[in-house]
Structure 1
Amino acid sequence: MTATPLEKSSERTEAAGSADSLDEYADAEVNFQPRSLKFWTIIIGMYLALFLVALDRLIIATPLAAITNEFGSIEDIGWYGSAYMLTNASFTLIFGRIYKLYSTKWVFLICIGIFEIGSALCGAAPSSTAFILGRAIAGTGAAGVWAGATMLMIPLIPLRKRPVFISMLGMIFAVSSVLGPLVGGSLTDSVSWRWCFYINLPIGSVAILAILIFFRVEPPKCEQMSLPAQLKQLDPLGFAFFAPSMISLILALQWGGSPAFPWSAPRIIGLLVTSVVLFGIFILIQIYTPDTAMAPMRVVLNRSIAGSMFFMFLLSGGMMSIAYYLSVWFQAAQGQSATQAGIRSLPLVLGLTVMGIVFAVVTQKVGYYVPGMLVSPVMASVGAGLLSTINPASGPGAWIGYQSLYGLGIGAGFQTSMLPAQNVLSRADVPMGMSLMFFAQQLGGAIFLSVGQNVFANQLVDDLSGFAGLNPEVIVNTGATDLGKVFLPGEMDVVVGAYSYALTRVFLMSAILSAVKLLGALAVEWKSITKAKGGASAVEEAEAGIGTSEGTSQDAGQESGEKSKV
């Protein structure tokens, strides 16, 4: 039998010593059309969807008072943030299996739709219970949007061209962290807190239309499987243990350390033990059912994937802590409004954006992503360490320069740490690899925001416990802008000084996290993005007509589970 062009290409690749078929990504060579309006419509639609789900993590912070006042639900305030995080963390990994089995286009659109339904329910909520339900639904959709964003890029953009596009993900993550409280406060003050969620509907609709009209895919072969076979492939047993494990962990982190539930409380200990036991059972399931596992060990234990996950876990934890508590520092230590605090946090975003683009170009030129992951810990740890030295009297030269340096460090490593999963794994395993990366990102932020809160609270109590007439517990539970309402003018210098120092201990924690993530970078394999999976050889073959015919595209699409054309 005469070999097809695809088979000949595969044989040449194997002869060259590559374990991966170049034709596995031949569709990206055909579909990469940066001068096409359709191409950019899809990319911008994807970025809009990502911006909305990233914004929704922190937009809830500012309108909390207005929401609780309307519903009379101060006892539910913890659930308003937790409901979103619980479903987001619980569903992130299973979306890796879903994207592997089904059409990227339709799964992504359904996830945006779920997010929009949750947002609409939040905006129209008649009660606190309905609002919490809306947040949980939105978090479920957000998990799918995060996991699917990179999957949309794979059939559109060759790996060697992808760093610049992925660098935008870091900028979206950082900008949303700063703009979330600002947008929430502006909408709450000028219109209504409900518009913090209604605003998602028109923007999300634009994203849906862009992808629905212009991103074209054929139904993947796996959709022909029987329903029981499809359900088995989704690892229902693993999910049954993973989801409650994440719920228990996040509830423990949300409640633990509060006056009502100290870390030694039986409820907190029980939640932590439950989380560990259930997660242990989940790991055993993944080991003994590798063919249907959400997190197969062949992926998790790959040195580049494990190193990148560790790197992203610490990067996200440190960045979220600084993005959140730096805004609090500006308000508490320097008496700035929420709007001014957001403006003064822009150097971090600008540093992240500039360095993200710089290292995206460098990575694209040299073909290796590890250098960015090595530079990131150095710059970020120094920048965060310097931020830990600021005080209420610090001038713009200090807080602008220090956070800019930290932002440069984050920018060097954020997008580069997303590339190993797309380079060292087969295309069939990329959805699970990317889900693991986003899971590490979400988990790092959730854990270290809670750790940061305890670092701040414990330091504040230690500093003020011996000061006559002051109750440290009252300060811990007082908002950053309300200190003047609780304490006399003569007490404010001491309180603000202690408040500032306690917040900078969180920055010191971020410096330590930034330094330790170097270990993850050192574990990542040096593998070029230009010599495999859509590199120069694939370009030459595409130009020669190999991998661009309808038959070849069909074969490549069946191998990966889908074929897209722009």
Structure 2
Amino acid sequence: MDASNAEKPQGPFAELKPFKVTQTEGNGSARSKESTLVDSARDTSPHSQTVEAQHEPKAPSSIHSHDAEPEPEYPTSWRLTLIVVGLCLSIFCMALDNTILATAIPKITDQFQSLGDVGWYGSSYLLTTCCLILAFGKLYTFYSTKWVYLMGLAIFEIGSLVCGVAPNSVALIIGRAIAGLGAAGVFSGAMIIISQTSPLKWRPFLTGSITSMYGIASVAGPLMGGAFTDHVSWRWCFYINLPIGGATIFFILLFFKAPKSVKSTQGLKDKLAQFDLPGTFVFLPGVICVLLALQWGGTTYEWGNGRIIALLVLFGVLIGIFIVLQMWGNEKATIPPRLIKNRNVWGAALFSFCVGGSFFVAVYYLPIWFQAIKGVSATKSGIMNLPMLLSVVIFSIVAGGLVSTFGYYTPFMLVSPVLIAVGGGLLSTMGVHSSAGHWIGYQIIFGMGAGLGMQQPMMVVQAALKIADVPSATAIVAFTQTLGGALFVSVAQNVFQNELRKNLAQVSGIDPASVMQAGATMLRHVVSADQLPAVLEAYNGAVTTTFYVAVAMGALSIFGALPIEWISVKGKKIGPPAA
């Protein structure tokens, strides 16, 4: 073919331009053949297959399954660009739903008198998300990626609408849970679509661009949330998802075509058997039990209360049964033992669990610190939160570009825990009179760590596994990240309320219950000027103590990074399976 007539796009779409494939002649000499990725995928004539089979060297046994897989037919550059735009919009929409809420929470608690429900606004969303991510992984394996993805996005939009019209705190929590159901399929689906539409060596850059939407939404979210809360209504924090989600549906509906190679030929009965209904029915109540125990323990009930003990015992029993079912179910299990035994998969899952827990604690409690301690508006607190969020954006993109350039993601997974732990530790030292230089610098360090590390587990499973295993492994990693967020937002809420109650009890002349009920934004309206300094110190101590949770989880994430193999993403079509 004439290479001069071929399209030559740049950057991550360069894989669509002509490339040279060296083939060995029968006499042992080498010749070069120019082709394109799309052309080679379409050239399926018997003659071409016979000729290539004669000259293709045999793969070593350790990677035979990799070479046996067909070369995917990637979309053209302009179509891939529009697909990525659609994916970026969907992740932006999801991330916005989390970060826009952070600055609105104080106003919501004021209106609904629901300071004790703050943990549930985040946990209800994350709970339903993490409970169904694994089920969506199965759906993506056996059904059209495109339609499963759009279904998840539609459910997310419905949940956002319910939140927007919620008349009370309970309705808001229900809406958040519905949105979480849809979100379970959106994030993992975006990563799966990237794996189906782009070559491996460019996936770090594309994945970094998509995950940077978390950072961009984190920048826009607090500002938008503050503006809506201060000037319109906090309800617009949820209504805004509707037009953004509509644009996403348009792009994905028109420009993404699920590759035929990932579609299953199994019948309906066999597909249903793959969903591990017994495991799902055991796992979901198990997660609910531990979340309720963490939410209620030490606040609503004492830790020694029979309800808390029963919840923890039931959690242990249900998870034990779930593990047995997974071992017995083998390939039909929700979490196939073959995958979880792979050190790259369980290492990536542990890393995601810890980093997710650390990041969401900071996202939820930094705005509370700014509004309560510094006495600023929701909009101003969003601006003051920018250093952390901008650093997440910048270093997500930088890390993706560096991985695509040098090939290795493991170094970033080793640096990330150090920066997160150091940044979180510095945040925990903030006081009522901390200067801007302190809280800006501390946020940047924490954001650098989160930005460098959050996307890497997705690259691990894409580089280390066969393409057929990517949907399930991607779901496992996404599940552990959201589970970490769900659990440790509740843990932080428990720490915050216990510490605040203890600190306020030491301030004379105030009613701790009334101060806690007032919420962060109304704090200065329920105490006198003489009492305010002591109350602020009490509040500051409670909020900064929650950052110890972020420190601990950030430090523990190093144990997920250590077992990860050093596999290069450069020059590989699909990463070989690890032992």
Range class of TM-score, shorter chain: 0.7 to 0.9
Counterpart CA distance in 1 for 2:505 and 2:165 is 44
Name 1:552's counterpart in structure 2: none
Is contact 1:238-1:282 (8 Å) kept?
A: yes
Partner in structure 1 of residue 143 of structure 2: 102
> Structure 1 residues 69 and 515, CA, compared in 2 at 3 Å: closer, same or farther?
closer
Q: How does 1:369-518 map to 2 (within 5 A)?
A: 369-518=409-558
Q: 2:239 aligns with which of 167, 183, 198?
A: 198
How many residue pairs are counted as aligned between the two chains?
531
Distance 1:503 1:25, change over 3 A: farther
2-structure distance, mates of 1:73, 1:240: 31
Seen in structure 2, the aligned counterparts of structure 1 residues 9 and 269 have a Cα distance that, compared at 3 Å, is farther
> For 1:103-150, what per-residue CA distance to the aligned partner results, in whole angstroms no more than 9, with x for missing partners?
111111111122223333444567877655543332211101122010
Give the match for residue 160 of structure 1: 201
The answer to whether residue 318 in structure 2 is matched with residue 318 in structure 1 is: no
Pair 1:90-2:135 in alignment: no
Of stretches 80-89 and 376-385 in structure 1, the one that deviates more from structure 2 is 80-89
Question: Structure 1 counterpart of 2:88, which letter?
Answer: Y
TM superposition shift of 1:177: 4.4
Structure 2 CA distance, aligned partners of 1:13 and 1:493?
A: 75
Q: 1:194 to 1:361 in 2, by over 3 A?
A: closer
**1:300 partnered with 2:340:** yes
Distance 1:212 1:397, change over 3 A: same
Amino acid at match of 2:352: M
Alignment TM-score, normalising by the size of structure 2: 0.83
* Distance (Å, rounded) in 2 between the aligned partners of 1:327 and 1:6: 64
**Shift of the alpha carbon at 1:282?**
1.2
Does the 8 A contact of 2:230 with 2:378 survive in 1?
no
Distance 1:67 1:463 in 2: 24
Change (3 A) 1:345 1:127: closer
2:287 match? 246
Q: Which residue of 2 aligns with 1:554?
A: none
SS at match of 2:375: coil
**2:188 counterpart residue number:** 147
Quick one: distance in 2 between partners of 1:126 and 1:212? 34
How far apart, CA to CA, are the structure 2 residues paired with 1:344 and 1:22?
51
What is the CA distance between 1:348 and its match in structure 2?
A: 0.7
Which range moves more in the overlay, 151-160 or 67-76? 67-76
Aligned to 1:37: 78
1:545 corresponds in structure 2 to: none
Return the alpha-carbon distance in structure 2 between the equivalents of residues 40 and 342 of structure 1: 31
Q: Specify the alignment match of 1:557 in structure 2.
A: none
Residue number in structure 1 paired with 2:563: 523
TM-score by length of 1: 0.85
Runs of 5+ unmatched residues, structure 1: 539-566
Q: 1:22: how far off?
A: 4.2
Alpha-carbon distance change, 374 to 75 in structure 1, aligned in 2, over 3 angstroms: closer
After TM superposition, the structure 1 stretch with the greater mean CA deviation from structure 2, 379-388 or 295-304, is: 379-388
Cα deviation, residue 462, structure 1: 4.0
Question: CA distance change for structure 1 residues 455 and 198 in 2, over 3 Å: closer, same or farther?
Answer: closer
Identify the residue that residue 71 of structure 2 maps to in structure 1: 26
Structure 2 residue 248 is matched with structure 1 residue 207: yes
Is the contact made by 2:72 and 2:196 (CA closer than 8 Å) also made in structure 1? Answer: yes
Asked if the contact 1:170–1:352 (Cα under 8 Å) also holds between the matched residues in 2, the reply is: no
Alignment of 1:116-127 (within 5 A): 116-124=157-165
Q: Secondary structure at the match of 2:71?
A: helix
Q: Describe how 1:225-236 pairs up with structure 2 within 5 A.
A: 225-236=266-277
**Where in structure 2 are the equivalents of 1:329-368 lying within 5 Å?**
329-368=369-408
Give how far 1:257 is off: 3.3
Aligned to 1:273: 313
Supply the AA of the counterpart residue of 1:246.
Answer: V
Q: Describe the SS at the equivalent of 1:154.
A: helix
- Counterpart-to-counterpart distance in 1, 2:423 and 2:119: 32
The answer (yes or no) to whether the contact 1:9–1:22 under 8 Å persists in 2 is: no
Measure how far apart 1:450 and its partner are.
1.8
Give the corresponding residue for 1:15.
Answer: 60
Distance 1:172 1:272 in 2: 36
Alpha-carbon distance, 1:289 to partner: 0.8
3-state SS, counterpart of residue 419 of structure 1 = helix
Separation in 1 of the partners of 2:166 and 2:339? 41
**What's 1:551 paired with?**
none
Distance 1:113 1:222, change over 3 A: same
Tell me which residue corresponds to 1:46.
Answer: 87
Q: Does 1:217 align with 2:262?
A: no
* 3-state SS of 2:151 partner: helix
8 Å CA contact retained: 1:304, 1:523: yes
Name 2:13's counterpart in structure 1. none
Q: How many Å separate the matches in 1 of 2:512 and 2:54? A: 70
- Going from structure 1 to structure 2, the CA distance change for 1:98 and 1:122 (only over 3 Å counts) comes to same
AA at the equivalent of 1:443 = L
**Aligned partners of 1:42 and 1:211 also within 8 Å:** yes
Deviations along 1:34-92, one digit per CA (max 9) or x if unpaired, are: xx332221111111112222222354456568778989999988765554333212211
Indicate if the aligned counterparts of 2:152 and 2:186 stay in contact, CA closer than 8 A: yes
**Greater shift in the superposed pair: 394-403 or 59-68:** 59-68
Structure 2: which amino acid aligns with 1:47?
C
CA distance in 2, matches of 1:251, 1:93: 21
Output the CA distance in 1 between the equivalents of 2:136 and 2:367: 33
Q: CA deviation at 1:455?
A: 2.6
| Aligned with 1:255 (options 273, 285, 296) | 296
Residue 474 of structure 1 and its aligned partner are, at CA, apart by 4.3
CA contact (8 A) 1:13 1:21 kept: no
Task: Assess if the C-alpha contact under 8 Å between 2:86 and 2:247 holds in 1.
Answer: yes
Distance 1:370 1:282, change over 3 A: same
Q: Tell me if structure 2 keeps the 8 A contact 1:171–1:349.
A: no
Residues 171, 256 of structure 1: CA spacing in aligned structure 2 closer, same or farther, 3 A cutoff?
farther
Partner secondary structure for residue 262 of structure 1: coil
Answer whether contact 2:92 2:214 (CA < 8 A) is retained.
yes
Amino acid paired to 2:331 = D
Cα 1:322/1:126, change in 2 over 3 Å? closer
Structural RMSD (CA): 3.1
**Deviation of the 1:152 alpha carbon:** 0.6
5+ residue gaps, structure 2? 1-45
Distance in 1, matches of 2:422 and 2:118, equals 36
CA distance in structure 2 between the aligned counterparts of 1:301 and 1:66, rounded to whole angstroms: 46
Once the two structures are TM-superposed, the CA of residue 524 in structure 1 deviates from its matched residue by 0.9
Structure 1 distance, partners of 2:114, 2:423, is 40
Equivalent AA in structure 2 for residue 287 of structure 1? M
